[in-house]
């Protein structure tokens, strides 16, 4: 840049020359750097504000839901889904909306909500929970093919026991008692959450076969 062995006047002239040649790029670099910093701060602040709004709306939705006012809860859920797409609150609101629709007897509507959130959810644990609920609604409707497809798409992770139990339900719905028994046993081995329910299903199979 500037040779420290030059005289003071020569250094000034050298600085002028260097600035003339490089000044624009330096200013541009500073502007870009500041823009990146302030842009990041703005984005981060915006994200925090959005999260705060989503949290507030979710709380507003939870209150009527707890009070049994499903109509109000469903409307609040739809607002969250519309305004905060792709976020965690979107998924939670979708799960609640699907639950409300199931309680209202709208199986098709519940499945549509779950299928939509399954496709856009990026968090694997949440996606697995959505798949579990979707598969259960499909089984209850007698759509064992659809349920089997959902189970087949599931990751082999800590939810393995839950999906094994679903495999048992699918097999049982198809009249495959041997397949159901094996799947329920696998569910117990791999760590299903509600072992009591799975054991009861195994006992029911044994009673039927022994009668």
Confidence check: pLDDT of 178 > 60: yes
Residue 158 token pair: 């800590």
Average pLDDT for the chain = 79
What is the chain's Cα-based Rg? 29
Per-residue pLDDT tens digits for 185-208 = 999 999 999 999 999 999 999 876
- Which residues touch 60 (CB under 8 Å, ≥6 apart)? 76
The C-alpha atoms of residue 95 and residue 211 are separated, in whole angstroms, by 41
pTM of structure: 0.67
Looking at residue 35, what is its pLDDT? 56
Report the SS3 class of residue 151.
helix
Distance spanning both ends of the chain, measured CA to CA: 95
Q: What is the pLDDT of residue 121?
A: 75
Instruction: Decide: 165 and 183 in contact? Cβ < 8 Å.
Output: yes
**Cα angle, residue 83 at apex, residues 80 and 87 outer, rounded to 5°:** 75
Confidence of residue 5 (pLDDT cuts 50, 70, 90): very low
- Residue 199 tokens read as 């054991």
* 128-172 pLDDT per residue, tens: 999 999 999 999 989 999 999 999 999 888 999 999 999 999 999
For residue 42, what pLDDT is reported? 43
The 10s digit of each residue's pLDDT in 101-119 is: 988 889 999 999 999 888 8
pLDDT of 30 over the 70 cut: no
What's the pLDDT at 82? Answer: 82
> What confidence tens digit (pLDDT) does each residue in 55-82 have?
677 677 777 777 777 888 888 888 888 8
């Amino acid at each position: 840049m500037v040779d420290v062995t030059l005289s003071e006047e020569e250094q000034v002239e050298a600085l002028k020359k260097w600035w003339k040649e490089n000044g624009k790029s330096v200013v541009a670099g500073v502007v870009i750097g500041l823009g990146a910093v302030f842009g990041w701060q703005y984005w981060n602040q915006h994200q925090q504000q959005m999260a705060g709004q989503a949290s507030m709306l979710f709380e507003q939705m939870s209150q009527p839901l707890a009070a049994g006012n499903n109509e109000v809860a469903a409307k609040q859920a739809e607002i969250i889904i519309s305004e905060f797409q792709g976020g965690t609150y979107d998924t939670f609101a979708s799960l609640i909306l699907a639950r409300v629709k199931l309680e209202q007897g709208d199986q098709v509507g519940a499945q549509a909500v779950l299928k939509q959130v399954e496709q856009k959810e990026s968090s694997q644990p949440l996606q697995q929970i959505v798949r579990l609920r979707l598969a259960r609604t499909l089984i209850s409707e007698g759509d064992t093919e659809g349920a089997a497809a959902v189970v087949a798409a599931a990751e082999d992770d800590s939810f393995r026991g839950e999906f094994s139990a679903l495999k048992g339900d699918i097999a049982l719905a198809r009249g495959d008692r041997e397949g159901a028994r094996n799947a329920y046993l696998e569910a117990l081995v791999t760590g299903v959450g509600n072992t009591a329910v799975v054991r009861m299903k195994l006992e029911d199979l044994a009673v039927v076969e022994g009668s």
